[in-house]
C-alpha cells in the first residue's frame, strides 16, 4: 500500500484538489504496519521480505516517535484509522481458524487501540480520532467472514471505551463511521462487493449508491469544530439502510401474491 500510494502521488494520479481551489499538500508519508506495536513484534522472516527489507521505523511505536520528532508534543489534531485486514475473510465463521480470527481482530480492531495509545499523547486537546466500521458488527452479512464481523463489533465497543478513557486523559474525541459498502480496491477482496452495493441501493431509505465523498464529508464533520459535542458514537453513512426493517418492495409483492 505504501508503494501504491507514493507512486500514485508521484504520478499525480491522486485527487488532491481542495474545495474552492488549490491542492492539498502532503508534507510527509510515514511507513506504518499497524499489526506491529514495536520492532520486537516483527517476525524475522518478515523483516527480510522484499516489501519490508528496505524500510525501517514502520511499527506503531516508531511511527509515533518519528512524528513526535518532526512535529513535537501536541502536534496532531486529527487521527484517522482507515484500515482492516482479515486473511480468511472469505471463509464462514464456522470454518475460520484461530490464527485467522485473531489476525482479523488484531489488524482491524486492536490497531485502533494501539494507535490511540501512542498518538493520543501527541494530540492537542479538542482533537478527534475516527475509524471505519461496517454493519456486519450487528447483523449477519453472509460472505463477510473470517472473524471480520467480530473485529468490527470490537472496534465499535472499543470506540465507546476509548472515548471515555482518551477523552479524560488527552481531551480528545473518538468516534466511528459505519459506512455502507463501497466498491473500493480493498472491498473487492471480499469477492461480493458489487452484489452488496446493488442490494443496498435497492433497499436503502435513499435508493442511491454510497460514495467515498459521503463518508469523507462525515469524517470531516466529526473531526471539525462542528462535531465538538460528539464522541463515543457510531455514525451511519449508508443512505439510511440501517433504519430499514423490510425490503421496500416486499409488502407490495406479498399483496400481489
Q: How far separated are the first and last CA of the chain, in Å rounded?
A: 51
Residue-level length of the chain: 257
pLDDT at residue number 195: 86
CA-nearest of 192, 201, 185, 204 to 142 is 192
pLDDT at residue number 150: 98
CA 78/CA 75 separation, integer angstroms: 10
State whether residue 45 is helix, strand or coil: helix
Over residues 203-212, the mean pLDDT reads 89
Higher pLDDT, 36 or 53: 36
The residue from 58, 101, 134, 200 that is catalytic is 134
| Domain extent listing, the chain | 1-72, 73-242
Task: Tell whether the model's pLDDT for residue 251 goes beyond 90.
Answer: no
CA 196/CA 150 separation, integer angstroms: 19
Does domain 73-242 sit in CATH 3.40.50.720? yes
Q: Confidence class of residue 193 from pLDDT cuts 50, 70 and 90? A: confident
Quote the percentage of the chain above a pLDDT of 90: 75
pLDDT at residue number 190: 65
CA 227/CA 218 separation, integer angstroms: 10
Angle between helices 98-105 and 148-170 (to 10 degrees): 30
Return the minimum-mean-pLDDT range out of 8-17, 97-106, 197-206, 247-256: 247-256
Over residues 233-239, the mean pLDDT reads 96
Residue 116 and residue 162 in contact, taking contact as beta carbons nearer than 8 Å:
yes
Task: Tell whether the model's pLDDT for residue 253 goes beyond 70.
Answer: no
Please enumerate in sequence order all residues whose Cβ is within 8 A of that of 161, keeping only pairs 6 or more positions apart, or say none: none
Quote the percentage of the chain above a pLDDT of 70: 94
pLDDT at residue number 181: 84
- Give yes or no: 144 in active site: yes
Dihedral sign for Cα 17, 14, 1, 142, please: positive
Distances (CA, A) of 128 to 109, 124, 188, 196: 18, 9, 29, 30
pLDDT tens-digit readout, 103-155: 999 999 999 999 999 999 999 999 999 999 999 999 999 989 999 999 999 99
pLDDT at residue number 257: 63
* Burial tier of 119 (Cβ tally within 10 Å: 0-12, 13-18, 19+): buried
**Helix, strand, coil distribution of the chain in percent, nearest 5:** 45, 10, 40
Max Cα-Cα span within the chain: 69
Higher pLDDT, 223 or 200: 223
Q: Phi/psi zone of residue 86: left (φ > 0), alpha (ψ -120 to 50 degrees), beta?
A: beta
- Give yes or no: 200 in active site: no
Strand boundaries in the chain, DSSP class E: 76-81, 123-133, 173-179, 234-237
pLDDT at residue number 171: 98
The overall average pLDDT reported for the chain is 92
The residue from 58, 101, 144, 241 that is catalytic is 144
pLDDT at residue number 197: 87
pLDDT at residue number 247: 84
Distances (CA, A) of 89 to 102, 182, 184, 223: 12, 16, 16, 30
Half-sphere exposure of 169 (CA within 13 A, CB side): 15
Amino acid at each position: 500500500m505504501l508503494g501504491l500510494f507514493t507512486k500514485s502521488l508521484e504520478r499525480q494520479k491522486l485527487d488532491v484538489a481542495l474545495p474552492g481551489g488549490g491542492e492539498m499538500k502532503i508534507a510527509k508519508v510515514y511507513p506504518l504496519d499497524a499489526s506491529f506495536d514495536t520492532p520486537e513484534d516483527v517476525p524475522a522472516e518478515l523483516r527480510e521480505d522484499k516489501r519490508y527489507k528496505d524500510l525501517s521505523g514502520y511499527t506503531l511505536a516508531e511511527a509515533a516517535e518519528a512524528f513526535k520528532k518532526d512535529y513535537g508534543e501536541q502536534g496532531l489534531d486529527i487521527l484517522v484509522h482507515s484500515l482492516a485486514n482479515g486473511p480468511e475473510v472469505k471463509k464462514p465463521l464456522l470454518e475460520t481458524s484461530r490464527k485467522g480470527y485473531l489476525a482479523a481482530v488484531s489488524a482491524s480492531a486492536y490497531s485502533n487501540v494501539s494507535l490511540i495509545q501512542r498518538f493520543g499523547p501527541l494530540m492537542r486537546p479538542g482533537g478527534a480520532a475516527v475509524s471505519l466500521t461496517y454493519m456486519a458488527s450487528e447483523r449477519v452479512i453472509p460472505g463477510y467472514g473470517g472473524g471480520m464481523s467480530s473485529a468490527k463489533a470490537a472496534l465499535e465497543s472499543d470506540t465507546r471505551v476509548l472515548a471515555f478513557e482518551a477523552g479524560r486523559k488527552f481531551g480528545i474525541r473518538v468516534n466511528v463511521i459505519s459506512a455502507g459498502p463501497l466498491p473500493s480496491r480493498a472491498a473487492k477482496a471480499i469477492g461480493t462487493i458489487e452484489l452488496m452495493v446493488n442490494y443496498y441501493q435497492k433497499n436503502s431509505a435513499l435508493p442511491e449508491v454510497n460514495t467515498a465523498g459521503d463518508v469523507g464529508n462525515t469524517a470531516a464533520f466529526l473531526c471539525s469544530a462542528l462535531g465538538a459535542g460528539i464522541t463515543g458514537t457510531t455514525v451511519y453513512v449508508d443512505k439510511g439502510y440501517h433504519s430499514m426493517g423490510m425490503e421496500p418492495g416486499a409488502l407490495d409483492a406479498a399483496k400481489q401474491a
